[in-house]
Amino acid sequence: MKTNLKSILAFSTIGLFTIGLVAFTSPQTADDWEVPAKYKTMKNPHAGEDTDGIGEDLYKQHCRSCHGNEGYGDGSKAGELETEMRDLSSNEVQAQTDGELYYKSIIGRDEMPNFEKKIRSEEDRWMVINYMRSLKE
């Protein structure tokens, strides 16, 4: 009886430890990137515009190094990243609302940098989103 109880305890400890370890080390996936509701429904006040190619210029300056020219995730820095990037021209990315793309692009998380300081103008931020829309295939 005594040994039984001990082994039950031992097994549950190992079990819990394993579950904890798996939960802790399993990589993040693009699907579990929760966007706060207030961003999801945010309206793009400049939908469809790319004044003087500002969006394209900013994309080339800040985003291309990782996401690549066409958004495929094949930029020059892509090889140094641990997080997988989804193809920005793909349906999965393009099906999201402008607000969702804004949140992911400007606020970011982990290896996707935050651009609040680098792209300060609200209008410029939307121009980048509009440019990303033009990458759609």
Under the binding rule (CB under 6 A), the answer on residue 72 touching ligand HEC is no
CB atoms within 10 A of CB 102: 22
- Segment interacting with ligand HEC (CB under 6 A) among 1-9, 17-25, 38-46, 82-90: 82-90
Q: Which of 35, 127, 128, 135 binds ligand HEC (CB under 6 A)?
A: 128
Instruction: Indicate whether 42 belongs to the interface with ligand HEC (CB under 6 A).
Output: no
Task: Assess 67 for contact with ligand HEC (CB under 6 A).
Answer: yes
* Residues 127, 51 contacting (CB under 8 angstroms): yes
Give, in order, the Cα–Cα distances in Å from 10 to each of 1, 2, 4, 6.
14, 12, 10, 6
Decide: is 93 part of the binding site for ligand HEC (CB under 6 A): yes
CB closer to ligand HEC, 28 vs 51: 28
Q: Per rule CB under 6 A, is residue 104 in the interface with ligand HEC?
A: yes
Residue labelled with tokens 């039984």: 4
Buried/exposed code over 39-53 (b: 16+ C-beta within 10 A; e: otherwise): beebebebeeebeee
Q: Does the protein bind ligand HEC through residue 110 (CB under 6 A)?
A: yes
**Binders of ligand HEC among 10-39, rule CB under 6 A?**
28, 30, 33
Q: Which two tokens stand for residue 62?
A: 């800040």
